Amino acid sequence: MKSLIKKDKIRQRISSLARKISRDYKGKELVLVGVLKGGFVFLADLIRQITLPLEIDFIQLASYGASTTSSGVIKVKKDIDLPIAGKDVLVVEDIVDYGYTMDYLLQFLADKKARSVKLCALLDKPARRKVKVRIDYRGFKVPDKFIVGYGLDCDEKFRNLPDIAYLEK
């Protein structure tokens, strides 16, 4: 395992994202939707630095297909509970790689009549992108490696690492 992004750099970038989100959503009815499981650590740190009233909910999705590629077929395992019609929704995701899941999720939430739906992703892995997805608030671009730590896992392990790392083959 090799370190990619240290916890201090993560903390600084989250602070910057929170300031921008706080400015952009001032006076709006903001709902943050965390994508389980990987996005929970990022969401927890992000909300503590956003200086606005907000609501939080969670969604869990599954993408079926081969272990290293996504088929693009998405299933909602746990839907949000809060009504979002007429509200501004910010999806908080750990990593965007192929784009299938986020493309599906952004449309799924828009169909619930949200006033706006935007995406905040800690990590962007553009080398793998198959579907174009707009990331409104981006933490870091990462190389095409298997990323773990800070909420991201490999077979449910490594989520608790404070840094972002990648697994060597």
Q: How does residue 69 score in pLDDT terms, banded at 50, 70 and 90?
A: low
Alpha carbon distance 2, 9 (integer Å): 16
Query: Which pLDDT belongs to residue 71?
Result: 60
At residue 112 the predicted structure's pLDDT band, cuts being 50, 70 and 90, is very high
The predicted model gives 6-30 an average pLDDT of 98
Confidence band of 66 (pLDDT split at 50, 70, 90): very low
pLDDT tens for 13-23 read: 999 999 999 99
> What is the spatial order of strands in the sheet that 54-64 belongs to?
73-78, 54-64, 30-36, 88-96, 116-124, 137-141
- pTM for the full model? 0.94
Q: Which domains does the chain have, with CATH numbers?
A: 7-145 (3.40.50.2020)
Express each pLDDT in 121-156 by its tens digit. 999 999 999 999 999 999 999 999 999 999 999 999
Distance, CA of 57 to CA of 59 (rounded, Å)? 7
Q: What is the mean pLDDT of the segment spanning 57-78?
A: 78
Listed in order, strand segments (DSSP E) in 6-157 are: 30-36, 54-64, 73-78, 88-96, 116-124, 137-141, 146-148
Q: Please state, in angstroms and rounded to a whole number, the distance separating the CA atoms of residues 93 and 151.
A: 10
Known catalytic membership, residue 97 = yes
45, 97, 103, 124: the active-site residue? 97
Reported as a pLDDT band with limits 50, 70 and 90, residue 114 is very high
